Chains A and B, each alone.
Chain A
């Protein structure tokens, strides 16, 4: 089956620093990847849609200058949380769309970010 990896799986950082999260599709090419955030006991919140070779499309209310997304290849998208603050602490999950075959989205295992 389709496999999506994320790195790191968890990260603790100091307030004001930046954190980069990688999302990779391991056995398929993903022209589109999605970044979600999930707070405890809440549903997934889509942050942005990442398209290979073009600018990401951000959902309403998501600061594009704070959450930098780069989709440089068909298998890699990165999310950088800039100048992180404690309120950015959350579970960040990426998904990749496999447009061949079943055209479904597969999720990475997630990255738990804690900002001190």
Chain B
């Protein structure tokens, strides 16, 4: 059973702080990793994807991938109340197109 694990939270950070969201996955052969944000009552929206080990930055967001440790994370710098949402980690199934989702981490940014 291929699994993607996230802490469900809620993770609470003050406005302006760095929010760190973590995800581990079980299939060592996984190659493609995605972070989605889902506001309450809305569908997920893609934040970032990462395929290579290391860091990938896009504005206030940085994705970090460590394939040896089977670990992917998302850092949100200068967190804003509008970042309050559930963040979903997804890993593409090896040899297929399906995404395996974690259960999501609820982030709350307090003003």
Contacts and interface: CB of A to CB of B under 8 A. Distances in A.
A58 interface: no
A104 B103 contact: no
Nearest to A104: B49
Nearest to A110: B43
Contacts, number: 39
Q: SS class of chain B's interface: helix, strand, loop or mixed?
A: loop
Given A43-B88, A43-B104, A32 B97 contact: yes
Question: What is the interface residue range for chain A against chain B?
Answer: 10 to 19
Interface string A62-100: 000000000000000000000000000001010001000
Contacts of B41: 91
A110 B41 CA distance: 9
B97 A44 contact: no
